[in-house]
Structure 1
Amino acid sequence: MIELIKDLLINYGTNERVAQYFSNTIAVIVIIMVSLIVDSIVRKVLLRTLKSYTEKTKAKWDNIIVEKKVFDRLARIVPIGIIHAFAPVFPAYQMWIQRIAFACIVFIVLLALNRFLDAINYIYSSYGIAKVRPIKGYIQVVEITLYTIGIIIIISVLIDRSPWILLSGVGAATAVFILVFQNSILGLVASIQITTNNMLQIGDWIEMPKYGADGDVLEISLHTVKVQNWDQTIIMIPTYLLISESFKNWRGMQESGGRRIMRAVYIDVTSIKFCDEEMLAGFEEIQYIKEDLQNKRKEIDKYNKDYKVNSAHAANGRHITNIGIFRSYIENYLKNHPKVSQNMIQMVRQLQPTENGLPIEIYAFTNEIAWADYEAIQADIFDHILAVLPEFDLRIYQGPTGYDFSKLRSI
C-alpha cells in the first residue's frame, strides 16, 4: 500500500523522499482511522448487545462482570490487534511494531483479568460464607502472580528472548524476591491460618489496644485488616500481626446473645449488722425477698433450737444480717429483671474486703448485646441498687470530699 501511494506521488512529480514520508503518514492515518472505526463498532454494537443480553438473563453474576467493565477492557485488544496485523505495511519497523503491540495486548489482558478477579470477589462477597471465609487475600495472591508472569512475558517479547531465560534467573534472585515480597508472603500465610482456623470474620468486633484497634472488621485482605473503631476512625492492621500477637474477638459474646455485667458496689463495713425483729418485719414487706426471708428465719430458728443456742448474746448461734438480706434481694431482683438473661449464669458474691469497703459484685448477662442498650441496662440496674441500699440500713463507701470537710468545719 505504501509503495502504491509512493509511486502515485512520484508520478505526479513529488520528490522521492517527500513521497516516502507522505505515503507513510497516509498509511499511519488510515490504520488509525480503521482502528478507531472498528473500536467504535465493537463498543457501540457488540458491547451494547452484550450488556442488553446480560440484563435479560436471570443470573446476576454476568451483570456484575459487565459492571466491572471486564469486556470493556478486552475490547481494547481489537484496535491494538489491527495495528499488529498492519505491521507488515512498515517492513523497516514491523518487528518493533508487533512486539510493542503484543506487549500492549498482554497488558490489556492483565487489566481485564484484574477486573474479572474483582468481579469474582464481589460476587462471592454477596454470599454469607464470605464473612466466614473471605477470599480477597487469595485473589490478591493470584493478581500478584498474574502480574509477575505478565511482566516477564512483556519484557521477554520486547528484548526478543525466551521467557524461560528470565525465569531461570528467578532462582538466583530468590533472596531478593523474598525480601521484596516479605509482607505479601507473611500476609498469605496469615490469611490461610485465619481462614482455616476461623479466627476472624468480617463484621467481628475485635480489640487490639497496642495498635489502637477497637471496633468492627470491615475488610480482610492479603496485607491488612481494616477495622472501623467506635469513634468512626479507620485503622489498618497488618494481617500477619493477628497471628503473631494476641487480640480479643467479641464474636462469642455476639453469638451467645448475652453481654456480661461484672461490676461491684462497695459497702461501708461499719453499716453491716445483725437484723432485729423490727428490721425483719420491715424486710418482709419487700416482695422480692419475703418468701426467702421467711424460709431463712425458719431455718435459723430450727438450727438455734436444735443446738440449744443461748439467745441472750448476739454472738451465739446464727442470725440474719442486713448484708445477707441485701444479697438475696439483688439475686431475686436480677431474676425478675426483663433485660437480664435467665439462661446464663447469675451470681451476687462478696469479694475480699479492701480499704474501700466490702465489694458486692454483680455477675450476670444482659439479653441485649448492642453497646448503647447494654450500657443503659447496666446503668438502670445499678441506679436501682444504689438507691435501694439505704432501705437495708447499709451505706455505700465513698471517700471524703471537700463537701464533707466543709460540713465538719460548720459543726
Structure 2
Amino acid sequence: MYKFIEHVFGFLYPIFRKWGLGYNFASYLSLIFNIALLCLLAYFIYVVFRLVLVTVMVFIAKKTKTKFDDLLVTNKTAKYIAHLIPLLFIYKAVPVILNKYEYWEGVFGKLVGIYIVFLLLWIVRTIFNALKDYLKLKPRYSDKPIDSFIQVIMIVLWLVGITVIISRLFEINHTEILTTFGAVSALIILIFRDIIMGFVASVQVAINDMIRIGDWVTMDKFGADGDVIEINLTTVKVRNFDNTTTTIPTYSLSSDSFQNWRGMLNSDGRRIKRHILIKTSSIRFLEDAELSKLKSIHLISDYIDTRKKDIDAYNSSNSIDKSILINGRNLTNLGLFRKYITSYLRSHPALNQDMILMCRQLQSTSQGVPIEIYAFSRDKVWENYEYVMSDVFDHVFSSVKYFDLEVYELPSEKEYLK
C-alpha cells in the first residue's frame, strides 16, 4: 500500500510542477494522505476490536457467577482497551508511513506515545474502580476505606505516568526527572500537604480500625453526627441524622477527638443515663404507719418486711429511744424510693438484666438531690430506645408522689402570683 502511494505521488509530481505547485505541495499532500489513511485504518481496527471485546466481555459476564466481570462491563473497561489497540498500531506504523518526514514522525510518535500512557492509566483506573465496587459488595470489606488505598495507588501511577510523559516529550532521562523532583520536594510537600496527611491518616485509620463505612460518629468540631457514607484519601463524608452531609478532613480523625458509636451498636445494650432532681426538703424518715401503707406496693413489700425486722432488732438490742425518730436506724422515703426504682428496673422487660443496672444518688446541688438511673436498653434502634427511656421515666416521675417526695422545678408564673 505504501509503495503504491509513492508511485501515485511520483506520477503526480510532474503535473504539480507544471501547475507551479512544486515539490513541497506534493510532499505535504502525500503527508496528509498518509496520515488520513493511517487514521482510517486505525478507526477500522477500533470498530472491529470494540465490537469483539465488548461482545466477548458481556457474554463472559452473563455466563460467570462472579460480579467482578459485570463491574468491568459497567466501568467500560473493554471500550478503553479497544481504544488502545489501534493506538499501538499507529505507534508502530508511524515510523513506516512517515519515514521520509522525520519531523512529523517525531511529533506524531510523541503525541501517540503520550496518549497511550494516558489511556493505560485510564484502563487501570477503570479496573480499580471495578475492584472497589466488587469489594464493597463483600461484607468483609464493605466498611473498609477502600477508596483511600485505590487513590494512593492511582496517585503513584499518575506520578510514574507523568514522569514517562515528560521523559518522552522532552527526551530527558528518568533519573534526571526524579533528581529534579527531589530538589523541589519541599514545594511538592507544600502543594500536596492534604493528600500526604490524608494518606498517613488513612493508613492509621485502617490499621487501628478507627472508623468504617456505616459507623455512627459524632465530631462536634465539624458538626458531624450521623453515619459514615464515604472514606477517601482526603475527606470522610458523614450523612447527619437531619440528612445533611458533613465533610471531615481524613487527617482530623487522627489529630482530633471524635466519638464512634460502633462499640455500642455491637454491644448487648444501649445505655440509659439520666437523672431527676428531688427537693432536699421533702426527704425524711418514715414512721411505722407510713411503712405499713407502703407495704402495699408489690415490688418493695418483702424488702420493707425484711428491713423493718433488722432495724427493729438492732434498735431493741441497743435500747434505742425511738420517741425521737432520728435515733437509731430508720428507713427514709428517698432510700425506699431508690429501692423501688431498682426493683422496677429489674422487672422491666426492655432492659438488659445482664448489664449494669442501678439507681444511684449523686452529689447534691442547689436544685436538689440528683437520683440517676443507669441501665441499658436491649433495643438499640434510636426510635425504640427513646421510647424505652421515656417509658421508664414516665413511671419514675409518676412514682415520686407515693413516697411523699417532690421533684425540683422552677416556680411557674401562677406560683409567683399566689
TM-score bracket, shorter-length normalisation? over 0.9
More displaced 10-residue stretch of structure 1: 291-300 or 162-171: 162-171
- Contact persistence 1:6–1:19 (CA under 8 A): yes
User: Aligned match of 1:252 in 232, 257, 263?
Assistant: 263
Q: Paired residue for 1:199? A: 210
Alpha-carbon distance between aligned partners in 1 of 2:289 and 2:176, rounded to the nearest angstrom: 100
User: Which amino acid in structure 2 is aligned with residue 86 of structure 1?
Assistant: A
Q: CA deviation at 1:131?
A: 4.8
* d(CA) in 2 for partners of 1:48, 1:11: 50
2: CA distance between counterparts of 1:84 and 1:301? Answer: 105
- 1:58 matched residue in structure 2: 65
CA contact (8 A) 2:145 2:202 kept: no
Structure 1 stretches lacking a partner, 5+ long: none
Of 315-324 and 85-94, deviating more is 85-94
Q: Which residue of 2 aligns with 1:279?
A: 290
1:133 CA drift (Å): 4.2
**2:12 equivalent to 1:4:** no
Q: Report the counterpart of residue 377 of structure 1 in structure 2.
A: 388
Identical-pair percentage:
36
The structural deviation recorded for 1:344 is: 0.9
* Pairwise CA distance, 1:313: 1.5
Partner of 1:137: 148
Whether the aligned pair in 2 keeps the contact of 1:132 and 1:195 (CA below 8 Å) is no
Of residues 280, 302, 306, the one that matches 1:269 is 280
2:384 counterpart letter in structure 1: D
Residue matched to 2:109: 98
Pairing 1:23-34 to 2, within 5 Å after superposition? 23-34=30-41
Aligned position for 2:299: 288
Alignment TM-score, normalising by the size of structure 2 = 0.92
- Aligned residue type for 1:89: I
Partner SS state of residue 183, structure 2: coil
Q: Secondary structure at the match of 1:228?
A: strand
Structure 2 matches for 1:10-409, cutoff 5 A?
A: 10=13, 15=19, 17=22, 18-87=25-94, 88-90=96-98, 91-92=100-101, 93-131=104-142, 133-406=144-417, 408=418
- The alignment covers a number of residue pairs equal to 407
Compute the displacement of 1:165 (Å): 2.3
Instruction: Give, in whole Å, the separation in 2 of the partners of 1:184 and 1:23.
Output: 50
Offset of residue 51 of structure 1: 1.7
Mapped partners of 1:254, 1:349: distance in 2: 25
Give a deviation string over 1:108-156, Cα, whole Å, max 9, x none: 0011111112222222222233256433222211100100110111121
Do 2:136 and 2:143's aligned partners in 1 also have CA atoms closer than 8 Å?
no
Give, as a single letter, the amino acid of the residue that structure 1 aligns with 2:6. E
Within 2, Cα distance between the matches of 1:250 and 1:71? 43
Are 1:35 and 1:82, in contact at CA under 8 Å, matched by a contact in 2? yes
- CA RMSD in angstroms comes to 1.9
CA contact (8 A) 1:217 1:227 kept: yes
TM-score (norm 1): 0.93
Q: Which moved more, 1:309-318 or 1:326-335?
A: 309-318
How far apart, CA to CA, are the structure 2 residues paired with 1:319 and 1:182? 69
Distance 2:108 2:406 in 1: 92
Q: Distance in 2 between matches of 1:172 and 1:310?
A: 94
Alignment-mate amino acid for residue 302 of structure 2? E
Residue identity opposite 2:9 in structure 1: K
CA distance in 2, matches of 1:276, 1:315: 11
SS of 1:183 mapped into structure 2: helix
Structure 2 residue ranges without an equivalent (≥5)? none
Q: CA deviation at 1:385?
A: 0.9
Q: CA deviation at 1:382?
A: 0.8
Deviation (angstroms), 1:327: 0.8
Q: CA deviation at 1:10?
A: 4.3
The aligned amino acid for 1:31 is: L
Q: How far is the alpha carbon of 1:4 from its aligned partner?
A: 2.6
Q: How far apart, in 1, do the equivalents of 2:56 and 2:259 lie?
A: 52
